[in-house]
Each structure stands twice: as structure tokens, then as C-alpha cells.
């Protein structure tokens, strides 16, 4: 500081002012950054959880916070570009109007759509049934696709193309989700790569560089100590298991591999049973659910919820079986949670795929010329997009009800029995641990439903945001009052990255049904913004035809094979270049590590020689 002050005496006034203003600006930015940390959602709660239960469980709550923010952003996007323009024009705000264009070359029977909206005197239980099933008064609200039956919106003299905005908003929320997940995955992958590269280096980093010297609060210091303790405990347990695996005999290896093969056969059988059950139940529900008989409204509601109940039951039972079977396969904790997660992914996400496949088989069921006039089964599904949206809505609501019911009727009674009852069986059953894999799959399953359902129900992200917001506090109460710290803590560096990979799998799964619905299945001719198009995708080339001729040629040229094939080849060449560059960097890193080891050995040799000479 004295040297810098001496140097500043010889500077001009302009340079002195620049240097002082630069310091003041950096200090102001640092203070703003410090204050902004208090505005981060659930920051103190997550730090407290990290200290008490380890970074693995803390990564779950951070992941949940990420999904709350993501869904809120998707809701703002869909509301701003789809719902708000329609509502403004419907009520004539800002001198706006709605333009309707009657479908051309379409038979009248395809344009008949009579939603089951409640009319006249309606009982309370009917509203309750509609609230759970998405029918009745909810079917004619902005929650579902069928509400947006409009071709253009005029705000003053400006024409707002609502069909194009609807499709582009769908692409936008998928792209935002994809890019944000990739960005977070890169950070997690870097930490995971550093950790896996050299376990001893990771151990040294925790011992010598793991402490945060900015901590002054005793409570914060205790939380940091607990966090480091859990990290070191996890490292030591993994090293013990790796040593045990390395010492296995050939007979033990043969036994383990045979047992794993047998367990995988059981897993495949469970998956097949779940898929077949969901398919049969969905077909039965679609063929037998009807709103015409009000006397059997409760039975009708149960029939409508059969797919949701069977899917939830499969999602609840299958992970329990997988968690029980994984104990006999003797994997290390990190790989154990990943394998359990992957098995549960195939149950939860594939269940959604089977449900959608069952719905499409009914929508496209063209036996006895059912689809000839309209291209889809218009008698059973006059507005099939709203029907798919209702299925996604029911899955979301029923999943939320189950998540709230399990703590109330399972977790808290189990805690009370384990605390106050001395029965050996109950004590053996004991106090539960917080299952990271099951809880992560719960929210990834719900998020996949949200991604798929947002196209058919634009306001579904708002429900998902509220759902995850409530789930955070429910899970926090369960964790602090009914769960004990895990016997085998899970490291956060690997967990964060793997959670995002599984979430990315869910997003890619959402691309498939949305792509088929947009590009392949004929859009409903009786409802929705795409009723004048054969498919939802046709609004894009139809809009391009309104552009100038030169711009049309450029866009159609970019979509042609003459452009796509060279572009794909260039992308492959660039990808191979970066792969080769990464391998070269890896070899350089290995050489530098070997060099560091040799230098440390040379220093030890010199110290030993100096010590001998002094003696």
C-alpha cells in the first residue's frame, strides 16, 4: 500500500481520479454482490440443510430451487406471448379485436366442439370434480388449448399472429430449458472431472483449501465444519469399498456378476409389467369415461383418474423394489445412486411415454373410417389437444396430492412409532433416511409432465411453480423432523451433474411427443389456434410465404438438403477437432502431473541429502 501511494504522488490528476473511481466502482460492485446473495431464494435454508445433512441432500434442494425458477420463467413466457394477447383482445383493451377465419374445405362435423361447461344450477361436488379432472368450467378457461380458438389478434393497427406466437413460444421454452440445463451441467461436469481425475488431489483440496476464511459467525463455522466432515466421510467410505472390490477373489466376482444378471432380469420384468398395465388402463379409461351420467360422477372421476393412479402406483412401488434390490449388488455409493436413478428414470419417464402412445393410438384409431373426414377420431376427440392437456393436468395434480399425502400418512406416523414404541420390529424398521434418488425422480417426473403438457395447457407451468414451491417446505419439514442423517452420505459434486443429466433425459423425452403432435398428428379443426392448418407446423411455411421473395429463397434454401448435408459435415469436422484437442490437453495434463511428482521426489531427495550432511 505504501508503494502504491508513493507511485500515485507522481501521477496526474486525471490518472489519480481514474484509479480512485475504479477502486470505488469495484468496491460498490462487491457490496452489491454481497447484498444480492440475500435475495437468492431459500439461500439460508439451503445452507442450513447442507451443514446438518451434507452436500448431497443440499444438492437436491438446490436442484428444486432451479426448477421453481425455470417453471416461473416458462410461465412468464407463455402468459406474455399467448394468454395475455388473447385476453387483451377478447375484452377490447387497447382498441384490440379478434379475427376469426372459418376453416376451408373441412366438413361441418369436424368443427363441432361442445365443451362440457357447467350451465344452470351446479352442485359443489361438480365443481370439485371439475377441479380435479380439468373438465367442466376448467375446460373452457385459458388453462387449456381449446380456449385459444382465434386466428389473429389486432392491437390497434398491428396484427399479432397468435398461431405463430403459440408455436414459437413452445420452441422458446424448450430451447431455454435445454440451454440452461446444458450451462449448469457444464459447471457440474467440470467439478466432477476434477474430482474423479485424482482422488488424492481432491482430498488435499478439502484438507488444505476447503475452509472459507470469510466466515466470522460461529453458527456458520459449525455448518461449514459439518459440510467438510460429510465430504471427507464420503471419500473414506468410497475408498474402503474400492479396496474391498479390488480384493475380491474369482469366486466372489462370479457370484456377484451372476446375482447382478438375475436382478437385472427381475428389473426388466417389472418394467414390462408396468408398461403393459398402463397401456391397458389408459385404453379402458378413454373408452369408458363419460360426463353424460351425472349420477355416476364419482365413478366417472375414478375411471378418468385410473391412468394417473396406476402410473403413480408404479412410480411408488418400482423404486422401492429397485432400492431393495440394489443392496445385493454391492456397488459403491456414488454408482449405486446413479444406477437406482437410471432404473427409476425408465419407470417414471417411460410411463409417460406409454400413456401418450396409448392416447395417440386412440386419437389416430381410424378403424371403420373413423378418421376419414378429419384425419383423427373426431367423435371421441373433437379437440384432442385439450384432452391430452387434461391428462397431463391430472397427472400433475395427482402427483402433487401423493407427495403431500405420503408425509402425512406414512412419514410422520413412522417417526412417532419409532420414537415412542419399544417393539423390536418397529425399531428395526426404524427412522427413515432421506432417499435422494426417489425425491429427485419425483420432481424430474413432474417437470417432464410440465414440458409435455405446456403445449396443450399453456398455464401448466404456473401450477408446477406453485407445486415445487410447496414441495420445498414439505420436504424440508420431513427432512428436519422425520429423517436421520444418511448412513452413507452422497457427494454433491457428482450428484448435481447427474441430476441435470437425468433432467436432460426427461427434456429429450419431451421433444418426441411434442414433435409428433406438432408435425405429424392433424390438428383439431374444432378448436385451438391451428384449426385452419393441417398440422401445427404448417403455420411456419405459411408465414414464410408472406415474406419477400429473396428472404423466402434463403430460408427454404437453408431447409434444403443441399445446405443441410454440408452443414452437418462441417459440424462433424469441428466436433472431431475438439475431441482431438481435448485428448491432447488430457495428455499434457498427465505429463504435468508426472512432472510434479518427479519434482516432489527430487525435493525429498535433496532434503534427505541435506539432513544427512548436517548429521
Confidence class of residue 178 from pLDDT cuts 50, 70 and 90? Answer: very high
Task: Pick 58 or 67 by higher pLDDT.
Answer: 67
- Residue 24 resides in a domain: no
The pLDDT value recorded for residue 292 is: 47
Q: Does one domain contain both 131 and 152?
A: yes
pLDDT in tens, 486-513: 555 555 555 677 788 888 888 998 898 8
Range of 209's domain?
A: 203-233
Residue with cell 398440422: 535
Q: Does one domain contain both 354 and 449?
A: yes
- What mean pLDDT, rounded, does the chain reach? 80
The pLDDT value recorded for residue 24 is: 83
- Given a cut of 70, whether residue 215 has pLDDT beyond it is no
Extract the C-alpha cell encoding 170.
413452445
Q: Does one domain contain both 259 and 399?
A: yes
The pLDDT value recorded for residue 271 is: 86
Q: Does one domain contain both 472 and 551?
A: yes
The pLDDT value recorded for residue 207 is: 81
Least confident of 159-168, 240-249, 296-305: 296-305
- Residue 239 resides in a domain: no
Over residues 610-615, mean pLDDT: 88
Q: Does one domain contain both 392 and 311?
A: yes
Confidence class of residue 295 from pLDDT cuts 50, 70 and 90? Answer: very low
DSSP 418-463: HHH---HHHHHH-SEE--HHHHHHHHHHHHHHHHHHTTTSTTHHHH
Q: Does one domain contain both 485 and 583?
A: no
**What is the percentage of the chain residues whose pLDDT exceeds 70?**
85
The pLDDT value recorded for residue 60 is: 86
- Residue 501 resides in a domain: yes
- Residue 28 resides in a domain: no
Q: Does one domain contain both 564 and 441?
A: no
- Residue 374 resides in a domain: yes
| Residue 37: Cβ within 10 Å count | 9
Over residues 419-448, mean pLDDT: 76
pLDDT in tens, 228-265: 887 788 778 778 888 888 888 888 888 888 888 998 89
Give the domain-ending residue among 543, 559, 575.
Answer: 559
- Residue 478 resides in a domain: yes
Give the domain-ending residue among 559, 575, 597.
Answer: 559
The pLDDT value recorded for residue 344 is: 80
Over residues 469-481, mean pLDDT: 89
Query: Are 464 and 446 in contact, with CB atoms under 8 Å apart?
Result: yes
The pLDDT value recorded for residue 255 is: 85
Least confident of 12-16, 90-94, 303-307, 374-378: 90-94
Cα angle 519, 521, 524; round to 5: 110
Over residues 382-394, mean pLDDT: 87
Task: Pick 88 or 190 by higher pLDDT.
Answer: 88
Q: Does one domain contain both 516 and 585?
A: no
The pLDDT value recorded for residue 356 is: 84
Among residues 533, 460, 544, 536, the alpha carbon closest in space to that of 166 is found at: 536
- Given a cut of 50, whether residue 45 has pLDDT beyond it is yes
Residue 130 phi/psi, 5-degree rounding, is -65, -35
Give the domain-ending residue among 525, 544, 559.
Answer: 559
- Residue 68 resides in a domain: yes
Q: Does one domain contain both 207 and 128?
A: no
pLDDT winner (highest mean) among 64-73, 285-294, 355-364, 562-571: 64-73
Q: Does one domain contain both 255 and 379?
A: yes
CA dihedral (525, 527, 532, 536) positive or negative: negative
Residue 495 phi/psi, 5-degree rounding, is -65, -45
Q: Does one domain contain both 311 and 411?
A: yes
Least confident of 279-283, 404-408, 481-485: 481-485
Among residues 530, 510, 164, 512, the alpha carbon closest in space to that of 376 is found at: 530
Q: How many domains does the chain have?
A: 3
- Residue 222 resides in a domain: yes
pLDDT in tens, 514-553: 998 888 888 888 888 888 888 888 888 888 888 888 888 8
Q: Does one domain contain both 226 and 322?
A: no
Task: Pick 102 or 451 by higher pLDDT.
Answer: 451
Pairwise CA distance, residues 371 & 367, whole Å:
8
Over residues 572-589, mean pLDDT: 87
Confidence class of residue 438 from pLDDT cuts 50, 70 and 90? Answer: confident
Strands 483-484, 432-433: parallel, antiparallel or unpaired by DSSP? parallel
Amino acid at each position: 500500500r505504501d508503494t502504491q501511494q508513493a507511485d500515485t504522488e507522481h501521477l496526474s490528476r486525471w490518472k489519480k481520479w481514474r484509479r480512485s473511481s475504479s477502486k470505488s466502482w469495484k468496491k460498490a460492485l462487491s457490496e452489491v454482490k454481497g447484498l444480492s446473495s440475500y435475495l437468492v431464494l431459500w439461500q439460508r435454508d439451503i445452507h442450513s440443510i447442507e451443514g446438518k445433512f451434507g452436500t448431497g441432500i443440499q444438492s437436491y434442494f438446490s436442484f428444486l430451487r432451479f426448477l421453481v425458477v425455470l417453471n416461473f420463467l416458462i410461465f412468464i413466457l407463455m402468459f406474455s406471448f399467448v394468454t395475455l394477447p388473447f385476453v387483451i383482445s377478447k375484452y377490447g383493451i387497447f382498441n384490440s379485436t379478434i379475427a376469426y377465419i372459418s376453416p376451408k374445405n373441412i366438413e361441418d362435423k369436424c368443427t363441432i366442439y361442445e365443451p362440457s361447461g357447467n350451465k344452470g344450477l351446479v352442485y359443489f361436488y361438480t365443481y370439485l370434480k371439475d377441479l380435479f379432472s380439468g373438465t367442466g368450467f376448467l375446460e373452457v378457461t385459458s388453462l387449456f388449448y381449446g380456449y385459444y380458438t382465434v386466428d389473429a389478434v389486432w392491437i390497434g393497427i398491428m396484427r399479432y399472429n397468435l398461431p405463430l406466437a403459440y408455436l414459437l413460444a413452445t420452441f422458446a421454452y424448450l430451447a431455454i430449458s435445454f440451454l440452461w440445463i446444458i450451462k449448469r451441467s457444464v459447471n457440474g461436469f467440470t467439478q466432477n472431472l476434477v474430482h474423479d481425475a485424482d482422488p488424492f488431489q481432491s482430498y488435499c483440496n478439502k484438507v488444505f483449501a476447503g475452509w472459507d476464511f470469510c466466515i466470522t459467525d460461529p453458527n456458520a463455522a459449525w455448518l461449514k465444519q459439518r459440510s467438510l466432515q460429510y465430504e471427507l466421510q464420503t471419500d473414506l467410505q468410497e475408498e474402503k469399498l474400492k479396496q474391498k472390490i479390488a480384493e475380491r477373489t474369482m469366486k466372489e466376482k462370479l457370484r456377484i456378476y451372476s446375482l447382478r444378471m438375475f436382478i437385472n432380469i427381475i428389473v426388466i420384468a417389472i418394467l414390462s409389467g408396468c408398461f403393459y398395465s398402463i397401456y391397458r388402463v389408459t385404453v379402458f379409461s378413454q373408452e369408458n369415461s363419460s360426463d353424460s351420467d351425472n349420477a355416476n360422477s364419482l365413478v366417472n372421476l375414478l375411471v378418468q383418474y385410473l391412468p394417473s393412479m396406476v402410473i403413480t402406483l408404479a412410480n411408488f412401488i418400482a423404486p422401492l423394489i429397485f432400492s431393495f434390490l440394489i443392496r445385493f449388488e454391492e456397488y459403491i455409493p456414488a454408482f449405486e445412486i446413479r444406477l437406482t436413478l437410471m432404473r427409476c428414470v425408465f419407470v417414471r419417464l417411460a410411463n409417460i411415454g406409454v400413456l401418450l402412445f396409448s392416447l395417440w393410438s386412440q386419437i389416430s384409431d381410424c378403424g371403420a373410417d373413423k378418421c376419414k373426414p378429419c384425419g383423427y377420431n373426431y367423435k371421441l376427440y373433437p379437440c384432442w389437444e385439450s384432452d391430452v392437456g387434461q391428462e397431463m393436468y391430472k397427472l400433475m395434480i395427482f402427483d402433487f396430492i401423493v407427495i403431500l399425502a405420503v408425509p402425512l400418512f406414512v412419514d410422520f406416523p413412522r417417526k412417532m412409532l419409532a420414537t415412542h414404541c419399544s417393539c423390536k420390529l418397529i425399531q428395526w424398521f426404524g427412522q427413515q433416511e432421506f432417499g435422494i434418488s426417489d425425491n429427485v425422480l419425483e420432481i424430474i417426473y413432474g417437470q417432464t409432465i410440465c414440458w409435455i403438457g405446456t403445449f396443450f395447457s399453456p398455464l401448466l407451468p404456473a401450477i408446477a411453480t406453485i407445486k415445487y414451491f410447496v414441495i420445498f417446505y414439505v420436504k424440508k419439514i420431513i427432512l428436519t423432523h422425520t429423517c436421520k442423517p444418511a448412513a452413507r452420505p452422497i457427494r454433491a459434486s457428482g450428484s448435481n451433474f447427474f441430476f441435470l443429466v437425468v433432467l436432460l433425459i426427461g427434456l429429450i423425452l419431451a421433444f418426441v411427443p411434442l414433435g409428433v403432435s406438432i408435425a405429424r398428428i392433424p390438428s383439431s379443426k374444432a378448436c385451438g389456434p391451428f384449426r385452419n392448418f393441417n398440422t401445427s407446423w404448417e403455420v411456419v411455411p405459411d408465414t414464410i410465404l408472406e415474406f419477400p421473395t429473396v428472404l423466402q429463397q434463403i430460408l427454404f434454401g437453408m431447409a434444403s438438403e443441399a445446405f443441410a448435408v454440408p452443414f452437418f459435415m462441417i459440424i462433424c469436422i469441428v466436433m472431431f477437432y475438439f475431441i482431438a484437442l481435448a485428448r491432447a490437453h488430457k495428455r499434457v495434463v498427465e505429463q504435468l502431473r508426472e512432472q510434479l511428482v518427479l519434482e516432489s521426489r527430487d525435493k525429498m531427495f535433496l532434503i534427505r541429502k541435506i539432513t544427512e550432511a548436517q548429521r
